[in-house]
């Protein structure tokens, strides 16, 4: 597995992947180090597509990602993450709605746990899931980062395509 870092408006991100795709996107936060496995090697060029697409996302030029992804998880978590990837850019849904969308309407807490375990935040947009009351709830990068991502998407959608960053 190889890894690299990307500095963004919401902080430094750690990306890790292999030939089968991107495995992890983690927030490198001062109060806790992003875990780098002993067998990983730093390779700044090895994740070129992911880096380029994330830069485009943060610049307001990209509304979705086209990357090979290789998350690891239980069948339930994988189902939640697949459904997260279907939430349209700039929209939010509740945990209860996400549970209904995977056919488990009584599993909103389990869906919340799976959402929190998402190994590819931003790309698999767990930040678009909010509490039933409309309040922001937990996010691996912190609530200010979640708010920034949601606000960013609204700003981009409000900007005519010909005026977006290029």
- In 1-160, DSSP assigns E strands to 2-8, 11-18, 21-27, 41-42, 93-94, 129-130
Find the helix packing angle between 108-116 and 75-84, rounded to 10°: 80
Beta pairing, strands 2-8 & 11-18: antiparallel
d(CA 136, CA 127): 9
Catalytic residue of the set 13, 111, 126, 130: 126
- Cα angle 44, 50, 55 (rounded to 5 degrees) comes to 95
Which of 166, 134, 162, 133 is CA-nearest to residue 150?
A: 134
Quick check: is 126 catalytic? yes
Q: Which backbone phi and psi does 27 adopt, to 5 degrees?
A: -85, 125
Q: How far apart are CA 57 and CA 13, in angstroms?
A: 14
Catalytic residue numbers read: 126
């Amino acid at each position: 597995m190889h890894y690299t870092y990307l500095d963004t408006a919401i902080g430094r991100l750690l990306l890790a992947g292999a030939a089968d795709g991107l495995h992890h996107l983690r927030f490198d936060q001062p109060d806790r180090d992003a875990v780098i496995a002993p067998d990983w090697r730093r390779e700044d060029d090895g994740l070129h597509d992911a880096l380029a697409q994330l830069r485009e996302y943060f610049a307001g030029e990209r509304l979705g990602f086209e990357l090979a992804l290789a998350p690891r998880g239980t069948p339930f978590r994988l189902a939640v993450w697949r459904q997260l990837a279907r939430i349209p850019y700039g929209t939010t849904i509740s945990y209860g709605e996400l549970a209904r969308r995977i056919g488990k309407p009584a599993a909103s807490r389990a869906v919340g746990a799976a959402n929190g375990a998402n190994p590819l935040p931003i790309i698999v947009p767990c930040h678009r899931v909010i509490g039933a009351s409309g309040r922001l709830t937990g996010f691996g990068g912190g609530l200010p980062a979640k708010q920034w991502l949601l606000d960013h998407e609204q700003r981009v959608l409000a900007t005519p395509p010909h005026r977006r960053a290029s």
